[in-house]
Amino acid sequence: MRASEQPDPTIVNPRRLTRERSSAVCGQCHAFAGFHDGFHGSIWKSYRAGKQLQAHFKVTIGVNNDSFWPDGAGRIGGREYNTMTLSGCYKKGEMTCLSCHTMHGDEPRDQLAPLMSSDEACLQCHEELRERVADHTFHRSASSGSRCLNCHMPYTSYALLGAARMHLVDSPGVSGKTTRERPNACNLCHLDKTLAWTSAHLTEWYQAPVVELGEDHEQVAAAIVWALRGDAAQRAIVAWHMGQPWALEASGDSWVTPYLARLLQDPYSAVRLIAYRSLREVADGKTLAFDFLGPADERAQVSREIIQAWVREREADGAVAAPETLVAGPGQLRWDRIAAIYAERDNRRLVLAE
């Protein structure tokens, strides 16, 4: 037992390390990397906390593989170190993993320090915005659209059969134009809006350059394009958002059921499960019997029955939605346009290994 209250110099405390070496302690696990001496586990014998990570790992930043979106953001969880080190807050500021995370002192979920799931995560450095967050976000101060993390660290990483916050801290843009790009924060909340809508608002609010877009992204909600045409990662991310209360509050939920029902037939079981869970949220917890690992013909039958029930319900209640959702009237969809977008689906095989 130690009698002294002074720090033990034989124990490496990340808080007493330099910014780079402190983050490297987390990066030894939360990174995509190869090994200098071959993939045989000797790294765990050679690396010690406090050492330079790059001396042991070939940490690859912005690598072009399934683990990352083309802009370098992590496509899957467990790559937080790679993407955090691309952030301006890290490269030009003082941010480290410990700016938000702690191993002790708060709830174990996400290992976040107190208040770090709130705007305080950003305001601890950006003090100049504390009294004018709503002026900066152009959203009501109490809304999810005024939460710093929702715009600057959206849920665009696939993880644990759902979505997780990406750790490339950046500002929203009109991303998601192609099936390989990361969906953007604006259209993952405003599921019923187009990329053109997002581009117009970012230009008006932040003087972002106008983005040229194709016909679909001018006329059809980006979330629908991603769900129908997107690659497996896009489909998983948008299916998860279609079940989130804050996104449904912003977008309405009268139109999402047919698109989630189609995803019950997705070739990836993970996408099917995520879509099923979101359907249960849209259905207010009503029991939906569905085996996401069951035979394809049974899954297809459930999908058809859910869509048929949606048609009946919408015809009865007369609910309509914005034309960007391809709803033509109560219980009516523009199936021709849906089929045309679906026919261009990106069926590239993805390996999203966490």
Residue 233 lies in a domain: yes
Half-sphere exposure of 5 (CA within 13 A, CB side): 0
Q: What are the Cα distances from residue 276, in Å, to 129, 164, 240, 254, 257?
A: 39, 18, 9, 16, 10
CA–CA gap between residue 183 and residue 241 (Å, rounded): 11
- pLDDT bracket for residue 90 (50, 70, 90): very high
Give the model's pLDDT for residue 285. 66
Amino acid making up residue 107 = E
Cβ–Cβ < 8 Å for 267, 245 = no
pLDDT value for 44: 53
Considering the domain boundaries, does residue 265 fall inside one? yes
> Cα separation of 193 and 250, whole Å?
10
Q: Each residue of 276-335: pLDDT tens digit?
A: 999 999 987 677 889 999 999 999 999 999 999 999 999 999 988 999 999 999 999 999
For the ranges 10-14, 70-74, 127-131, 236-240, the one whose mean pLDDT is highest: 236-240
Q: How many domains does the chain have?
A: 1
How buried is 304 (Cβ within 10 angstroms: 0-12 exposed, 13-18 middle, 19+ buried)?
A: middle
Please say whether the beta carbons of 56 and 36 come within 8 A.
yes
pLDDT of 286 reads 75
Q: For residue 204, what pLDDT is reported? A: 96
Structural domain includes residue 125: no
Residue 61 lies in a domain: no
CA-based end-to-end distance of the chain? 40
- Give the mean pLDDT of 167-176: 94
Domain ranges, residue 256 = 172-354
Q: Cβ-count burial of 96 within 10 angstroms (0-12 exposed, 13-18 middle, 19+ buried)?
A: buried
Taking the C-alpha atoms of residue 206 and residue 89, their distance in angstroms, rounded to an integer, is 19
| pLDDT score, position 10 | 79
**How far apart are the C-alpha atoms of 126 and 95, rounded to whole Å?**
12
State mean pLDDT over 71-86. 90
Tell me the C-alpha distance between 163 and 156, whole Å: 6
Q: Over 90: is that where the pLDDT of 245 sits?
A: yes
Enclosing H/E stretch for 33: strand 33-35
Q: Is the pTM of this model over 0.85?
A: yes
Give residue for tokens 């939920």.
253
- Residue at 187: amino acid letter: N
For residue 108, what pLDDT band results from cuts at 50, 70 and 90?
confident
Per the model's pLDDT, the better-predicted residue between 33 and 117 turns out to be 117
Torsion (CA) 346, 348, 349, 350 in degrees, nearest 10: -70
Backbone angles phi, psi at 248, to 5 degrees: -70, -35
Q: Do 228 and 245 form a contact (C-beta atoms < 8 A)?
A: no
Q: pLDDT at residue 36 above 50? A: no
pLDDT at position 51: 80
Share of the chain above pLDDT 70, in %: 93
Residue 21 within any structural domain of the chain: no
Residue 39 lies in a domain: no
What pLDDT is recorded for position 92? 92
Output the six-digit token pair for 174: 């009109």
Of 228, 242, 324, 233, nearest to 280 by C-alpha is: 242
Contact at 8 Å (CB) between 203 and 252?
Answer: no
Task: Give the number of other CB atoms < 10 A from CB of residue 5.
Answer: 5
Among 296, 220, 309, 299, residue whose Cα is nearest residue 257: 309
Could you tell me the pLDDT band of residue 40, with boundaries at 50, 70 and 90?
very low
The answer, yes or no, to whether residue 39 has pLDDT greater than 60, is: no
Residue 32 banded pLDDT, cuts 50, 70, 90: confident
- Taking only the tens place, the pLDDT of each residue in 207-230 is 999 999 999 999 999 999 999 999
Q: Which three-class secondary structure state does DSSP give residue 111? A: helix
Q: Quote the mean pLDDT of the chain.
A: 90
Least confident of 98-112, 135-149, 296-310: 98-112
- Concatenate the DSSP letters of all residues of 254-265 into one string: SSSHHHHHHHTT
Beta-ladder partners of 159: 162
Rounded distance between C-alpha atoms, residue 224 and residue 194, angstroms: 9
In a domain, 182, yes or no: yes
Would you state the pLDDT for residue 3?
67
* Domain assignment present for 151: no
